[in-house]
Amino acid sequence: MLKVSRKSEYGLIALKYIWEKNSLCTAREISDNFFIPLENMAKILQSLTRAGLLSSVKGVQGGYRLARNPSEISIANVIEIIDGPIGIVDCETTQKTTCVQYCRGVCNIKKPLGKIQNKFKEFLNEVTLVDMV
């Protein structure tokens, strides 16, 4: 089954909350409001900050805010920051695969699934944080 990971869900929840609140938000605030473990939220916010989607302000009155326009933050972008490349089959997302059929050169579904994967990623690139309101 194709599905977004829980960590990516948390990242999207945090970004949407920060955008809608339109002020600095702390990891604890987001964690408490959405019943997300604080350690998980802190790591996710750090990843989003390193990737340039958020900026952080240190100190007692610190927190996180969007570093980019919400219309520039795609769902694909968030998922790839948190979980890595988007893919429905390993042979399309990584150089290392344990797939016997692919490794032996007899896979007959790589190309069609690759097309589906590309369309799926294109779609996720078109959906932005603004579309989640």
pLDDT in tens, the chain (133 residues): 578 899 999 999 999 999 999 999 999 999 999 999 999 999 999 999 999 999 999 988 899 999 999 999 999 999 999 999 888 877 777 766 777 887 788 888 888 888 998 999 999 999 999 999 8
Q: What is the pTM of this model?
A: 0.88
Tally of domains within the chain: 1
Task: Give a yes or no: residue 14 inside a domain.
Answer: yes
Task: Give a yes or no: residue 95 inside a domain.
Answer: yes
Task: Give a yes or no: residue 91 inside a domain.
Answer: yes
CATH number of the structural domain spanning residue 127: 1.10.10.10
Q: Tokens 């240190």 identify what position?
A: 58
Q: Rounded CA gap, 129 and 39, in Å?
A: 24
Task: Give a yes or no: residue 114 inside a domain.
Answer: yes
Task: Give a yes or no: residue 12 inside a domain.
Answer: yes
Question: How far does CA 58 lie from the centroid of its chain?
Answer: 24
Question: How far does CA 21 lie from the centroid of its chain?
Answer: 20
Question: How far does CA 57 lie from the centroid of its chain?
Answer: 22
Task: Give a yes or no: residue 1 inside a domain.
Answer: no
Give the residue numbers spanning the domain of 33. 6-132
Tokens matching residue 51: 């990737």
